[in-house]
A and B are shown apart, each in its own frame.
Chain A
């Protein structure tokens, strides 16, 4: 049990002026880089970590937390204004944010994203602070069979949710899993599908694939559309009605259940390593759409769609730290970067962290709450500025974004090989989206692929090669039944939609 004096000392460390300034700097930097398509907070964090050597551990980690949280808010800006998610997490936000921006309400959409993001994030941080240990124990009880079943359920929901064709959703998921097979197999570590390129032995670099598929492919689409015609990256319809530029209390309060549900989904999925914020955002979106009285308004600028995805993806960030702080298992790329920052400063995340470094842990919690507060105010002031960042002519936005992606990926992957892979996946992403395949399912499947295969291998080991033994796990059975039910439900729903379209 942690002493109250340690908790208070930790919080007092967090609320020092130096720490406040570094968190503020981190939030501003995070929002800015999140707003620039193709960069994102992960890359900013990766680049910033070596520069935190000179800082004290609490200041360094608080700064990185600020960058990560700021990036979650900033990532929604290009998603809403350009339909180009600054981060994969913001892809679900674009579904309703972009149509709302096209209707002349870009500030309303970005502010709703800001408020929902901070609501979800604060909820998740409070859960982290109060019940981190019990939740981590729950997450730990999910063995490989349950994790594999959970991933199958996630794929079945996502494949049905994205687009009108379940088959195309499945193809996107299968392609993502196939691409994730490139590298070494997780059990025997033999080279697999590397075609003689030993640089691929550790698998395809995540920044190359993610930035290529999500950012560059969208830029290619946009550049082909605007060929020979200079225009702003987004053209705003000016409105005299101030309500179009803000979120009223009634609108915010009307989304309270959507945000709460999103925050709960994000917190639960965030506590499970490997699932991540993108899956949480889409799952929350699916639930919001399914429970809506007017599901047809989703995808056309419904504030509930933005609230659902942003509250869920931001809630993941705090919950990701639950397995990290209590078990030493990072739940996401962002959490993995925070682990490396911990280790740089001589700390070992895990069960003993609360006992040995309690003051630092509670300092981190204080910094997280402070970052949420600063995120709100920096967002309120900065959103108009970040909107300007993507309001410049497309020519400079796209050429600059391309150069930044080149440099960022080259730094993240230590060379131009990663940049070449990024371009290959940009072309693949362009073709997939041109032919109506979901890039988001592809990228989620790519992220989850290695863990999915590992879970299956571990499940086979546990069941002596007989997967039918999975019936002994009620959680796995329930998830697999839900997967089958959702598969047929989406099949039926899509057939009805297709029939309606044909008629």
Chain B
């Protein structure tokens, strides 16, 4: 059996479906005896279909291939910046953190031209602040 993208994702969905059915749904969905449809009927049915489809995909994969591991690693770095940005926003607010997140993203993409950096790091957050706080009268996160 060859190691393909579909076999990897199929195995994950098979495991997820079974975990949902045997572990997660019994613990995180309340049982109710009344009514036409039990709260766990839909998630249970769906988790079994998910597991079945995952198993079918393992045995009958397509020729699909994913991007390189390097690409996944770069995306992980961007996600890390965004996650850190959200956490920092909860502590210091968008006004201080927004420009920093924009700067980090622009530098990672490779932007070095001062005019575009100023536009992205100063002008755009300022425009958002003006639009949201001054024009719309709403609070920034």
Contact = CB atoms under 8 A, between A and B. Distances in A.
Given A51-B136, A393-B111, A435-B6, A423 B89 contact: no
Nearest to A195: B28
B102 A400 contact: yes
B25 A193 contact: yes
B116 A396 contact: yes
Nearest to A180: B42
11 contacts: A174-B49, A192-B43, A221-B75, A398-B109, A400-B120, A407-B140, A411-B141, A415-B141, A427-B79, A436-B5, A436-B62
Contact of A171 (B29, B30, B57, B136): B57
B114 interface: no
A177 to B, nearest CB: 5
A170 B125 contact: no
Nearest to B98: A403
A227 B71 CA distance: 9
Interface in A453-503: 453, 456-458, 460-461, 465, 498, 501-502
Contacts of A165: 6, 57, 62, 64
Given A164-B62, A406-B94, A456-B37, A227 B13 contact: no
A348 to B, nearest CB: 27
| Interface secondary structure of B, over-half rule | helix
A220 B116 contact: no
Contacts of A190: 29-30, 32, 39
A400 to B, nearest CB: 5
A402 interface: yes
A247 interface: no
Given A171-B57, A427-B79, A435-B66, A187 B37 contact: yes
Across chains A and B, which 10 residue pairs bring their CB atoms closest together, nearest first? Answer: A395-B111, A185-B39, A410-B141, A436-B64, A460-B36, A399-B102, A457-B37, A190-B30, A435-B9, A395-B109
Given A423-B79, A457-B36, A460-B36, A404 B141 contact: no
B71 A224 contact: yes
| Interface secondary structure of A, over-half rule | helix
Contacts of A227: 74, 108-110
B43 A171 contact: no
A410 B42 CA distance: 30
Given A170-B49, A420-B86, A434-B66, A395 B106 contact: yes
Interface in A102-151: none
Contacts of B134: none
A361 B83 CA distance: 47
A94 B54 CA distance: 28
A41 to B, nearest CB: 16
A181 B62 contact: no
A288 B8 CA distance: 34
A229 B37 CA distance: 54
Interface string B19-47: 01000110011101011110110110011
Contacts of A435: 5-6, 8-9, 64, 66
A168 interface: yes
A167 B53 contact: yes
Contacts of B106: 395-396, 399
B43 A403 contact: no
Contact of A178 (B50, B66, B83): B50
Given A188-B34, A437-B9, 6 more contacts: A188-B32, A190-B32, A220-B75, A221-B75, A411-B141, A416-B89
